[in-house]
Amino acid sequence: MEMPAISNAAIIDLGDRTLVVDSFMTFQAAQALSDAAEELTGNRPHLLVTTHHHVDHVGGNSVFAEIPRFGTARMRELIEQDVPLPDVLIVSPIEVIGSERSVRVIPTGKGHTDSDIIVSVPDVGTVVAGDLVWNGVHPKTSDGNPQAWVDSLDVIRKLGPTLVVGGHGKPGGQALVDKMVRYMGSVGEVAGQVSSGELKATDAEAPKGTAKWLGLDRFHKGLEAITSR
């Protein structure tokens, strides 16, 4: 059975409860995620956190329809799929306390989208960053704001994680976050050149060090979207 999942998700064992971050794209992939959570932790998922509204992160929400789903009011407005929406709406960081560890669910505001959330697991130095962080893959920037994105990445950096789980590509450390800061800074600079007419979006060179990253077309399409608003 095919289980399309083009993004990352996370399973966090709180001890007496299990938290899942994002639900993949399809029911089948989300069901496999739910089953893996139970196998790994001994508990069925008790909570679902949505990092943002894109379908590859919310398409499997129906598997988690019976449990609390954390998100923001703006996410509810942006989710277009016929899937269960976030029903626990947050506007500031909250702590979810388990018998073995606690996590912080942190809305970072605009960045990759109009409303992003990250999850910090302090006792193991980990941040689940959603699509604020990509590794080896050009990020989708068409719904984003370069400066706000950098500001959100700064929130992650200040948490001091040793492991960062991004939305696409392999996990990394602080160096991965720094690379994303440089990437989005470059996008902001090039977008300014495109807006002023100095450069065409299709002629722009990808940020330094990303020539071999997958999905170069997303870089150019993102520039076109950012500069056409």
Q: What is the CATH number of domain 1-124?
A: 3.60.15.10
Are the CB atoms for 49 and 70 separated by under 8 Å? yes
The whole-number average pLDDT for the span 56-69 is 96
pLDDT, residue 81, reads 76
Residue 1 has pLDDT above 80, yes or no: no
Residue in the structure block whose two tokens are 């050009």? 138
Q: Other C-beta atoms within 10 Å of 89: how many?
A: 15
DSSP the chain: ------S--EEEE-SS-EEEE---SSHHHHHHHHHHHHHHHSS---EEE-----HHHHTTGGGGTTS-EEE-HHHHHH--SSSPPP-EE-SS-EEEE-SS-EEEEEEEESSSSSSEEEEEEGGGTEEEEEEEEESSB----TT--HHHHHHHHHHHHHH--SEEEEEES--B-HHHHHHHHHHHHHHHHHHHHHHTTSS-GGGPPPPTT-TTSB-HHHHHHHHHHHHT-
Q: Quote the mean pLDDT of the chain.
A: 95
d(CA 146, CA 217) in angstroms, rounded, equals: 17
Give the rounded percent of residues in the chain with a pLDDT score beyond 90.
Answer: 94
User: pLDDT confidence of 82, banded at 50, 70, 90?
Assistant: confident
Residue 2 has pLDDT above 70, yes or no: no
Are the CB atoms for 105 and 93 separated by under 8 Å? yes
Residue 211 has pLDDT above 90, yes or no: no
What's this model's pTM, rounded to 2 decimal places?
Answer: 0.95
pLDDT, residue 36, reads 97
| Domain ranges for the chain | 1-124, 133-154+174-229
User: pLDDT confidence of 229, banded at 50, 70, 90?
Assistant: confident
